[in-house]
């Protein structure tokens, strides 16, 4: 007889149980296929596959995942609302299926207890819904998400504890990839296929059938159909594309071609084949969801972190990233989202762990040249911080994983050739490595219409930011204005960005500081036009803020731009100057800080940024442009300029000059009693300057400056519980504290 890995009560006959098992496997495979269409930018086809989502729990969750991806990529209120409603329905349906499988004692997995697959889907629905709230950058919404996070956390924890009890394998050893258990199972759905490996590292797989299975031809045919669906999914041909091995590349860059050979690819392919679709879904889902939970909990700003600690939540970024790497090995939606999470963490526009918090080489650790008094025990602990995460999984976590991550991305690019999402991620990775021109060229090379408009908007926004880092302001401004027609919200911010770009183009013309022989360069003949456009978009930006709100709230950057434009108008009225000539420190270079621009600019552009930041400076002050401007530089504007110029100097390797400049800012917020003052003009700046001071100490003294770096970070963390852009700045501070923790 055809042997199945289930146990049940008498309420189900053998035929009924077998039928339910096959239906469930088919439904899961269909849901995975639908979600892969989304990863290949063919969302409409994927949604059409989910025609039974009102009756089938996994299809309802799949629809929720699709809407979640659309929502988190575009942050559009209507999409967020739709995703929220779908995921709430998915929670209810998944919980009901979990209870049914437990009631019937129907064990559809060769490893896990009855109902485990639906416990995972239930936790996933809760987690994704909580993330929608957390990503709003609102402290209130973040607190509301705690309840759902708590439910997801406890559900996943229960699954891992149950697995440990059954298998004796702990989460610390290897959560929950139990290939040994699967290989000894009697389940036909988890039997290992015969295979041979091609030169690309992808496997050619043949379905195993034994004489016993052939006795039930109908059941075997259904099994074959499901199994072949899985085989095609693993090789990437299940959604109408040719096998992914035909498109694999060795290196980043859109002109790069050629197959790659990788033992890792072969190992991952074997692992994917060794499990039934249910086992695969469970262990990849647990790794993804628990991994995201750990990373999110480790990144939340101090104001929310204090609340989380009270209710017993404390995330481990090391463990979370390790689990995300395991999830990313799987050839399913969990692997795709896991890889996206890793790419956002390491190469996203907002960098969680600053590259300047680097780690000395092994020689410097054991015998620090600048601080010989640092003990060897501390040095070895420091070394261990970066190596401990590699135990078992072989993956670095806090440091950028380099080739490992780029190889995973290139595999995704091969699997999903129609998707602008993965092309965007490759562009981001190039930008993160300082290859800005290549990143723009790659984004420009997309020769098809992007179906998912959220991805199109992200690509245009990222390209516009990179153009800003390259001082290509006219084209950047056009991209920001184009976003108003694509995105349903944040129109005020796009206008503010466009105005800031035109303003800087005008200043470059005024200062006769034009880059030569480059693409899309500022045109001196358009100086007055740039001035007109800057005034137009800056003044209109606040008027657009109230029209489209995010989740019925004014977003932090909208409040930021309202304050900035109000200050410009006040300066214009006070001094009788035009709008453009009433601006203090460069608006676009201030914005560049929030999008990690200084860590990505090549030296030529850092030098230009340093000069242009001096445009608004008072004559004969440090790094002033000495243009003889009539508008005096206020103390507050000078503090912004000094901070940004100090960072620019640090990135150019001029550590002492940069730190001396930043110390002017630190002195500004330090009272006569040595205590920090609470200043309310540009409130983001002062905790950020304390954070940057910690970075300077670290760059200057390395291991010897550990205690001082921690002290400055602690001051930055304690500066205020809530302030303008506190979520964004707070996450950077917390990431740095975690970076140095345990050293």
Number of neighbouring beta carbons within 10 Å of residue 521? 18
Supply the pLDDT for residue 390: 33
Q: What is this structure's pTM?
A: 0.86
Q: Which secondary structure element, helix H or strand E, spans residue 196, and what is its range?
A: strand 194-197
Supply the pLDDT for residue 105: 87
Of 39, 126, 23, 49, nearest in space to 334 by CA: 39
**Any idea what DSSP says for residue 201?**
S
Residue 206 backbone phi and psi in degrees, to 5? -120, 135
DSSP H helical ranges for 470-554: 473-486, 491-510, 527-545
Task: Give the model confidence (pLDDT) of 56-92 as tens digits.
Answer: 999 999 999 999 999 888 777 788 889 989 999 999 9
Q: Which residue has the tokens 């609102």?
A: 138
**Residue 564 and residue 579: Cα distance in Å, rounded?**
12
Supply the pLDDT for residue 254: 60
Q: Which two tokens stand for residue 162?
A: 């149950």
Q: Which secondary structure element, helix H or strand E, spans residue 272, and what is its range?
A: helix 263-273
Task: Give the model confidence (pLDDT) of 125-149 as tens digits.
Answer: 999 998 887 765 555 666 677 788 8
Supply the pLDDT for residue 484: 95
Which residues in the chain land under pLDDT 50?
1-10, 171-215, 257-264, 266-267, 270, 360-397
Angle between helices 587-594 and 453-469 (to 10 degrees): 120
Residue 447 backbone phi and psi in degrees, to 5? -110, 20
**Residue 507 and residue 539: Cα distance in Å, rounded?**
18
Distance in angstroms between the alpha carbons of the first and the last residue of the chain:
59
SS3 26: helix
Q: Which residue has the tokens 């200050």?
A: 567
**Residue 488 and residue 508: Cα distance in Å, rounded?**
32
Q: Which two tokens stand for residue 461?
A: 């926004």
SS3 33: helix
CA dihedral sign, ordered 708, 713, 716, 718: negative
Supply the pLDDT for residue 317: 81
SS3 535: helix
Q: Which residue has the tokens 């054991």?
A: 366
Which residues, other chains included, contact 16 with Cβ-Cβ below 8 Å and sequence gap of 6+? none
Residue spans of the domains in the chain: they are 14-189+209-346, 470-583
Q: Which two tokens stand for residue 629?
A: 């401007």
Residue 614 backbone phi and psi in degrees, to 5? -80, 0
Go through 197-214 and write b for each residue having 16 or more CB atoms within 10 A of its CB, e for each that does not. Answer: ebebbbbebeeeeeeebe
């Amino acid at each position: 007889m055809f042997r199945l890995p289930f146990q049940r009560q008498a309420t189900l006959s053998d035929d009924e149980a077998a039928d339910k098992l096959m239906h469930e496997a088919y439904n899961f495979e269909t849901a995975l296929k639908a979600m892969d269409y989304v990863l290949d930018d063919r969302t409409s086809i994927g949604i059409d596959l989910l025609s039974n989502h009102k009756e089938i729990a996994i299809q309802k969750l799949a629809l929720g995942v699709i809407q979640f991806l659309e929502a988190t990529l575009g942050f559009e209120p209507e999409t967020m609302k739709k995703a929220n409603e779908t995921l709430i329905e998915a929670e209810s349906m998944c919980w009901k299926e979990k209870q049914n499988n437990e009631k019937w004692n129907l064990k559809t997995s060769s490893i896990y207890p009855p109902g485990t697959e639906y416990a995972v889907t239930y936790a996933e629905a809760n987690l994704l819904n909580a993330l929608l709230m957390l990503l709003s950058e609102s402290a209130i919404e973040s607190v509301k998400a705690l309840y759902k996070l708590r439910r997801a956390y406890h559900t996943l924890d229960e699954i891992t504890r149950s697995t440990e009890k059954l298998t004796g394998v702990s989460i610390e050893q290897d959560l929950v990839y139990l290939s040994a258990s699967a290989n000894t199972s009697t389940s036909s759905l988890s039997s290992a296929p015969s295979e041979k490996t091609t030169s690309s590292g992808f496997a050619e797989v043949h379905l195993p059938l034994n004489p016993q299975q052939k006795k039930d031809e109908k059941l075997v045919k259904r099994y074959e159909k499901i199994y072949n669906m899985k085989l095609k999914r693993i090789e990437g041909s299940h959604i109408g594309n040719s096998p992914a091995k035909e498109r694999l590349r060795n290196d980043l860059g859109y002109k790069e071609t050629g197959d790659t050979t990788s033992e890792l690819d072969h190992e991952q392919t074997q692992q994917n084949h060794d499990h039934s679709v249910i086992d695969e879904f469970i262990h990849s889902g647990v790794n993804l969801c628990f991994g995201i939970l750990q990373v999110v909990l480790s990144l939340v700003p101090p104001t929310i972190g204090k609340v989380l600690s009270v209710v017993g939540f404390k995330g481990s970024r090391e463990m979370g990233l390790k689990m995300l790497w395991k999830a990313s090995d799987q050839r399913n939606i969990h692997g795709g989202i896991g890889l996206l999470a890793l790419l956002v963490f390491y190469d996203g526009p907002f960098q969680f762990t600053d590259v300047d918090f680097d780690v000395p080489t092994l020689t410097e650790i054991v015998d620090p040249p600048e601080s010989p008094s640092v003990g060897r025990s501390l040095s070895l602990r420091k070394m261990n911080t970066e190596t401990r995460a590699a135990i078992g999984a072989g993956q670095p976590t806090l440091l950028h994983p380099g080739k490992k991550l780029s190889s995973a991305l290139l595999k995704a690019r091969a699997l999903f050739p129609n998707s602008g999402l993965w092309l965007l991620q490759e562009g981001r990775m190039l930008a993160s490595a300082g290859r800005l021109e290549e990143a723009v060229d790659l984004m420009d090379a997309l020769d098809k219409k992007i179906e998912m408009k959220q991805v199109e908007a992200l690509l245009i926004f990222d390209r516009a930011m990179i153009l800003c880092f390259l001082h290509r302001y006219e084209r950047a401004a056009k991209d920001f204005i184009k976003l108003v027609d694509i995105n349903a919200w944040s129109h005020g911010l796009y206008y503010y960005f466009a105005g800031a770009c035109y303003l800087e183009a005008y200043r470059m013309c005024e200062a006769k500081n034009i880059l030569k022989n480059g693409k899309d360069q500022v045109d001196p003949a358009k100086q007055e036009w740039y001035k007109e456009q800057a005034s137009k978009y800056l003044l209109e930006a606040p008027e657009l803020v109230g029209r489209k709100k995010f989740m019925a709230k004014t977003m932090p950057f909208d409040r930021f731009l309202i304050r900035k434009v109000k200050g410009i108008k006040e300066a214009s009225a006070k001094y009788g100057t035009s709008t453009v000539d009433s601006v203090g420190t460069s608006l676009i270079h201030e914005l560049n800080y929030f999008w990690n621009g200084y860590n990505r600019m090549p030296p030529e552009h850092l030098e230009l940024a340093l000069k242009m930041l001096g445009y608004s400076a008072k004559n004969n002050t440090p790094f002033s442009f000495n243009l003889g401007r009539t508008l005096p530089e206020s103390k507050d504007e000078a503090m912004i300029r000094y901070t940004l110029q100090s960072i620019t100097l640090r990135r150019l390797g001029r550590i002492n000059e940069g730190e001396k400049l930043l110390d002017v800012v630190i002195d500004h917020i330090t009272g006569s009693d040595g205590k920090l003052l609470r200043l309310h003009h540009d409130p983001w700046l002062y905790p950020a300057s304390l954070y940057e001071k910690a970075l300077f100490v670290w760059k200057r003294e390395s291991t010897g400056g550990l205690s001082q770096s921690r002290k400055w970070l602690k001051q930055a963390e304690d500066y205020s519980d809530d302030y303008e852009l506190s979520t964004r700045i707070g996450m950077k501070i917390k990431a740095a504290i975690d970076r140095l923790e345990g050293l």
